[in-house]
A and B are shown apart, each in its own frame.
Chain A
Amino acid sequence: MKMSRTGLALIAAAYIAVPLLLGSNNYVMSLVVAAMIIGGIALAWALLGNLGGMVSFGHSAFFGVGAYVSALLTMKAGVPVLAAMLLGGAGAVLASLVMLPVLRLKGPYFALAILAYAHIFKIIATEWSSVTGGSAGLASVPRFPELMGFDFSGKIGSYLIILTVLLAFVAAYRAIRASHYGIALRAMHDSEDATRVVGVNSTLLKAVMLFVSAFMTGVVGAFNVHYINFLEPDYAFSGLWVTLPIVAAIFGGYRTIVGPLAGAVTVYLVDQLVFKNLIPSGHQLILGALLVAMIIFSPGGLIPLLRKGFGRKHAAA
C-alpha cells in the first residue's frame, strides 16, 4: 500500500502549515477541530456503510458511550486522559455487543433498531445518576495533558491529537479495505447471498465492521469530552452526532476514504466561515441547497467530482 505524493504533502501541510498559519487564531482553530470531530464520526459511519453495507442512525450511542467511559475513567479512576480515550473506544465496542442481534436486520429495520439503542443508552446515562451524574452531567472533565513541555489542552495541541487519531483511522480503513476481508465485504455489498454461497461468514464480518466503526466513534466521543470538558446525556447522545456526519459523508463521498473527512471540513468550515457571515441566522439553508445540488449533480460526492475535474485537466494537458 503506497501513499501518493499528494497524500504525503497534505499530511505534512496538516501537521505543519495549519498550526503555523492558523494556530494564533483560536476561533478558526476551534472550527477546524469541531469539523474534524464531525469528520471522525463521518468516517466511522461511512466505513460501516461502505464495507458493512449497513446504514446506521445510531452512531450517537457509540459517541456518547465513548465520551462517558473516558470521562468517568479519568474522573473516578484517575486513568490518564490519552489511555482513557482508547478505553472509551473499547467501551463503545462493548456497547455495540448488545446490538449484535439487530445485525440480522436489513435496510431501514436495522437503521431504526440501532436508533432505538442510542435512545436506550441515553436513558441509562440519565437514570444511572450515581455514576453518570444523571441529567446534570459531568462538569470539569479533565483536559488533555502537558507532555514534554507542550500543552495538548490548547487549540494546537487538541488539533494535533484529533489529526493523529483521524490519520490512524484512515490507515486502518485502508488496510481493511485492501485485505481479503475487504474484498469479501465489497462483494457482500453487491450480493450478500452470493458471498454466503461461496463460504463467507457475512454476519461475522458485519459484526467486526460494527465493532471497528463503534471503536472509532467512541474514541472521537472521548476526544470531544476532554476537549469540551463537559458532558450531559442530551448532548452526549444528541441526534446531531448522526445527522451532521451523514451529511458530511454524503457530501464528501461516502464510498471513498477521505470523502467523509473532506466533506466534514468543507461543510463545517464553509458553513461557519462563509454562509454564517452572509446569513447569520438561517445560514443552514444555503448548506441544505448545496447538499441537494451535490446529490443531483455528483451523487458520488465531492471527492469523485474533484477527481473528475483533475482528470479532465490532465487529459487536456
Chain B
Amino acid sequence: MDCNCIIRSKLGLAALALSLTAGVASAEELLVGAEIPLTGSLARVGAGMNEGISVAVEVFNKTNGKHTIKVITADDESAPAKAIAAVEKLAGQGVVAITGGYGSNNIGPASDAANKLGLPYITSGGVDDSLTERGIKTFFRINNTAGYRKAMVGLLDDMKVKSASVIYSTKEATADLAKDVQKELAAKGMTVGMHAFDPAITDFKPIINKIRLQDKSEVILMAGYENDYVGILRAAKVLKPDVKAMIGVWSLATPKMVADFPDLMPSVYGTALLPFPAEFKTADGKLFADTYKKLYNKEPDYLGQFGYVQSMILFEAIARAADKGTLKKGGVVQELARTDRETLIGRVQFNDKGDNVNFVHRMGQHQNGKIAIVWPSDAATGKMSFPGVPW
C-alpha cells in the first residue's frame, strides 16, 4: 500500500467516523421530566394527564423522524415539598424541561424550583392567576380561568337568560372562576346569586332550596368537582327548582359521568374539548385518538388531551432548539415563547407571562347518553337542548 493509499484510507475512516458521530448527534434522545401526582389526593387527574404525556411521546417519536424524546416520570404525591424534590431529582437526571404538574399549590413551588434550575416548565393543571403573575420567564400554561369563564358566559349569552345562581366550592380554582363569572354577568346587567360551599359538605338541599325560593334564577351554574356536582344534581332532582339549565365546568361533561350517573346527567352542561363518543376531524386529532386507544384501550378524556397538547408543544420546542443548537442556552424557553400552533384545544400562543392568550373552552351537553359540543357554534357537534334539566 503506497503512502497516498494510506492517507486516502485514513481520510475515508475519518469521514465515516464523522458521519457516524453526526448521525448519533442528530438521533439524540432528549430527556424530558414529567412531574405528576400519581398518588395522593390528585392521583386520578394526575394519571389522566400522564396518559396524555405518554401518547405525546409515542406520537412525537413516530412522526418527528429526527429526534426522539424519553420521558422520566416523578410522582410528586400531590404535595408541594415533594413536587420541588421531584423537579430537582429530574434535573439531576439531565432533563431539558418539565411537563406536568397538577394543582396550583404544587405547580407554584415546582415551577419556581424549575426556574431556579433554568428548566422550562409547561402545564395545564393549574388555572390560578397568580401563577402567571410571578414574572417567571420559564413558566408556560396552555389553559386558564379566563378560558372557562368565556365558555360559561358565552353559553349563557346564547341562552339569552337574565338571571343565574352560582353554586361554588371555596377551593381556589372554583372560587376564582365563580367570582370572575359573576363580575362578567353582572357587567352585562344579569342578576347573579352567589352561593359558596365548603368542600367538605355533601348535602346541597339548603342551597338549592334557597335558590328555588329566594333567587328564582333561570339557570344554576356549578363550579366544583365530581362529588360536588353529584350532590348538587341529586339535591336539585329532589327539590326540582324551576330552572331552565344546570351548567357546570370541568369533570362534568365526561364519559365517566355518563357511565356512572346516567340518571343525573341528562341535559346537564359542562366544559368539554370533544364530543363523546369522540370525533376527531383533524389529522393530529385522529393520530392522538388512535394512539390513545392503542395504548389504553379506551376513549380519550379531557385530561389526556390537555396532557398531550402541553407535551407536544414542549417536545416540538425542544426539537427546534436542538436543531438550532440552543438546547443548553435557553433555546427551549425561546422556542416555547414563539409557539403559534393549532392544537386539539385550539390555537396556542403564549403572552410574555407564559399564559395561552387564545384559550377558550367549549361547552358540552349530556344528550341521550352522549356528549354533544353545543358552544361555540363553529365547534358545535349538536344542537343545544334548551330548556332542559335532568328531572
Contact = CB atoms under 8 A, between A and B. Distances in A.
Size range of the chain B interface in the assembly: 20 to 34
B45 to A, nearest CB: 15
Contact of A228 (B84, B171, B174, B175): B84
B215 interface: no
Interface string A190-228: 000000000000000000000000000000000010001
A139 B131 contact: yes
Contact of A30 (B73, B85, B134, B198): B85
Interface stretch (B52-60, B87-95, B380-388): B87-95
A25 B93 CA distance: 11
Given A134-B175, A280-B75, A37 B81 contact: yes
A137 B112 contact: no
B131 to A, nearest CB: 7
A266 interface: no
Interface stretch (A101-109, A230-238, A253-261, A304-312): A230-238
B372 interface: no
Contacts of B73: 280
B171 to A, nearest CB: 6
Size range of the chain A interface in the assembly: 20 to 34
A30 B174 CA distance: 31
Contacts of B84: 30, 228
Contact of A26 (B88, B131, B170, B198): B88
B109 interface: yes
Contacts of A27: 85, 88-89, 91-92
Interface of A: 25-27, 30-31, 33-34, 37, 123, 126-127, 134-137, 139-140, 224, 228-230, 232, 234-235, 240, 272, 276, 280-282, 284
25 contacts: A25-B92, A26-B92, A27-B85, A27-B89, A30-B81, A30-B84, A30-B88, A135-B170, A135-B175, A136-B128, A136-B130, A137-B104, A139-B108, A139-B128, A228-B84, A229-B108, A230-B80, A230-B109, A232-B172, A235-B105, A240-B79, A280-B38, A280-B75, A281-B38, A284-B39
Interface of B: 38-39, 73, 75, 79-82, 84-85, 88-89, 91-92, 104-105, 108-109, 112, 117, 128-131, 133-134, 170-172, 174-176, 198
